[in-house]
């Protein structure tokens, strides 16, 4: 534990991105947060600990392997100000990943204790959905971790996300805020708004837990096409409703941290 605390000592803000269930856009929010922060000049690290579905590497265009020197892991810099470490660098491509609980915990300890980040303003950690070993280990190990909760407006997603927030609260960790993703879609032809997944999820959570709703992001089909190779919402979708909403969400996050 002491080794881990020393290793992450020079990281000012650590953010764990969590969600109740898969498919709500957690990785998209995590990767784009890291890309947006790096774009604004913050020294940023992105750590992908989703052992079962690591797709962060593709989204940021991670091609270089980390260097391992005398037990220390040096994360590649994929863009100016952005270093990335992903569990996918340590498993063969397309190999089924069968890890048991203790193995996952060991891998995460290693990531936290052995990755030589240097000085960082932000470390963004993308964990698998739910309240399994991975988010639990990070919450347990890092007392100053801040949890960013991603949900959709849907009641079912909200039900699962309550469990994630309860975990954060039970462990006395700091909930940074909630991001509601896929809040609505605007028809590109007539401008009409469709609430694809109902409404109110983020707002209800904000009221229930007194955790700030930091932003509501629209569904934008063009995102699916380019969500790889380091193309980000803030750099490649300038002027879109999604970019405006995302930029304002990032601003809310930056307002609440120690910079």
Q: Which parts of this chain interact with ligand ADP (CB under 6 A)?
A: 19, 22-28, 129, 181-182, 217, 219-220, 223-224, 227, 242
Token digits of residue 173: 């960790």
Number of alpha carbons in the 13 Å side-chain half-sphere of residue 197? 22
Through-space distance between the first and last CA atoms of the chain, rounded to whole angstroms: 25
Spatial separation of the C-alpha atoms in residues 60 and 41, rounded to whole Å: 17
* Least distance CB 30 / ligand ADP (angstroms): 8
Q: Which residue's CB is nearer to ligand ADP, number 140 or number 240?
A: 240
* Least distance CB 149 / ligand ADP (angstroms): 11
* Least distance CB 150 / ligand ADP (angstroms): 7
Q: Which residue's CB is nearer to ligand ADP, number 47 or number 242?
A: 242
Q: Which residue's CB is nearer to ligand ADP, number 125 or number 242?
A: 242
Q: Which residue's CB is nearer to ligand ADP, number 108 or number 182?
A: 182
Let me know: does 47 contact 115? Beta carbons within 8 Å: yes
Q: Which residue's CB is nearer to ligand ADP, number 73 or number 85?
A: 85
Q: Which residue's CB is nearer to ligand ADP, number 20 or number 45?
A: 20
* Least distance CB 233 / ligand ADP (angstroms): 8
* Least distance CB 19 / ligand ADP (angstroms): 5
* Least distance CB 25 / ligand ADP (angstroms): 3
């Amino acid at each position: 534990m002491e080794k881990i605390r020393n290793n992450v000592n020079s990281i000012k803000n650590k953010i764990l991105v969590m969600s109740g269930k898969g498919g709500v856009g957690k990785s998209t929010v995590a990767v784009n947060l890291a890309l947006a922060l790096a774009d604004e000049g913050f020294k940023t690290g992105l750590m992908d600990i989703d052992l079962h579905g690591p797709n962060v590497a593709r989204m940021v265009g991670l091609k270089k392997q980390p260097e391992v020197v005398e037990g220390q892991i040096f994360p590649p810099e994929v863009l100016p100000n952005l270093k990335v470490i992903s569990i996918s660098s340590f498993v063969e491509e397309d190999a089924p990943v069968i890890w048991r609980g203790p193995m996952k915990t060991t891998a995460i300890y290693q990531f936290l204790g052995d990755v030589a980040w240097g000085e960082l303003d932000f470390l963004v950690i993308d964990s698998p959905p739910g309240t399994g070993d991975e988010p639990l280990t990070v919450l347990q190990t890092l007392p100053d971790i801040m949890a960013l909760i991603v949900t959709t407006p849907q009641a079912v997603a909200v039900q699962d996300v309550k469990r994630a927030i309860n975990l954060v609260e039970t462990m006395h960790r700091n909930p940074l805020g909630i991001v509601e993703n896929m809040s609505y879609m605007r028809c590109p032809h007539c401008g009409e708004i469709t609430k694809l997944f109902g409404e109110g999820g983020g707002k209800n959570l904000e009221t229930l837990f007194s955790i700030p709703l930091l932003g509501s992001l629209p569904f934008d089909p063009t995102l699916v096409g380019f969500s790889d190779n380091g193309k980000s919402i803030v750099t490649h979708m300038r002027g879109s409703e999604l970019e405006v909403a995302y930029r304002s969400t990032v601003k809310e996050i930056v307002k609440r941290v120690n910079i």
